[in-house]
Amino acid sequence: MKVLILNGSPRKGGNTELLLEELGRGLREAGCDFRLIDLPSLQIHPCINCGHCEQHGQCIFKDDMEELYHLIPQCRRIIIGSPVYFYGVTAQAKAFIDRCQVLWSRKYLLGTPKGTEEHRGYLVSVAGTSGKKVFDGVRLTARYALDAMGCSYCDELLVRDVDQLGAILKHPEELERARELGRTICQPAPNS
């Protein structure tokens, strides 16, 4: 099973990255083949809403998104990871997500295949505060992005009150939750 992990955190060694690494350990333990993409290291031009993809199913920008447009449909599990920045995903994750308009256009306007129950999506997010609604924006953004990618939103790992670089290491229970999520991601979807 191909699994794609999209790390939207620009902070090297940050809490989101550490959780995604632990999730990757769980995937390896379960025998899953996965690829981790560091979104901040890619050249992704922001969407300009030109409408080209709505007509042609292709983006006018030829950048690192081209590889992701080919990779995403091949993956049966997709994980989006991002810390919370002002109740949303990072700018780097948002640039990627906005460019998924191509996939949305293909799915909803141009009638390409919509994925199956085997295409499942997940969210891993960390917030520096404990607000009740701190994950609302991130969750909605991830849910609709994963839908555009042909995935149903299946599970999430959300961690509050973790802000300083590497602070997640003081929370072994959260690292274990990430590892366990990795193990379960590889399980077949019900009724498949």
Ranges of H-type helices in the chain: 15-29, 52-56, 65-71, 91-99, 101-104, 136-148, 172-185
Mean pLDDT of 21-50: 96
Is the predicted pLDDT of residue 192 greater than 60, yes or no?
no
Q: Determine, yes or no, domain membership for 129.
A: yes
Q: Determine, yes or no, domain membership for 86.
A: yes
**Minimal CA–CA distance to 5: which of 153, 27, 117?**
27
pTM of the model: 0.94
Is the predicted pLDDT of residue 116 greater than 70, yes or no?
no
- With tokens 């099973």, the residue in question is 1
Q: Determine, yes or no, domain membership for 97.
A: yes
Q: What is the pLDDT of residue 188?
A: 73
**Minimal CA–CA distance to 149: which of 40, 6, 38, 1?**
6
Is the predicted pLDDT of residue 7 greater than 90, yes or no?
yes
The total of structural domains in the chain comes to 1
* pLDDT single digits (tens) 56-72: 999 999 999 999 999 99
Mean pLDDT of 14-42: 96
pLDDT-derived band at 187 (thresholds 50, 70, 90) equals confident
Range of the domain at 37: 2-185
Ranges of H-type helices in 58-171: 65-71, 91-99, 101-104, 136-148
Q: Determine, yes or no, domain membership for 191.
A: no
Q: Determine, yes or no, domain membership for 128.
A: yes
* pLDDT single digits (tens) 55-114: 999 999 999 999 999 999 999 999 999 999 999 999 999 999 999 999 999 999 998 766
**Minimal CA–CA distance to 138: which of 82, 65, 188?**
82
* pLDDT single digits (tens) 137-180: 999 999 999 999 999 999 999 999 999 999 999 999 999 999 99
CATH of the domain at 158: 3.40.50.360
Q: Determine, yes or no, domain membership for 192.
A: no
Q: Determine, yes or no, domain membership for 190.
A: no
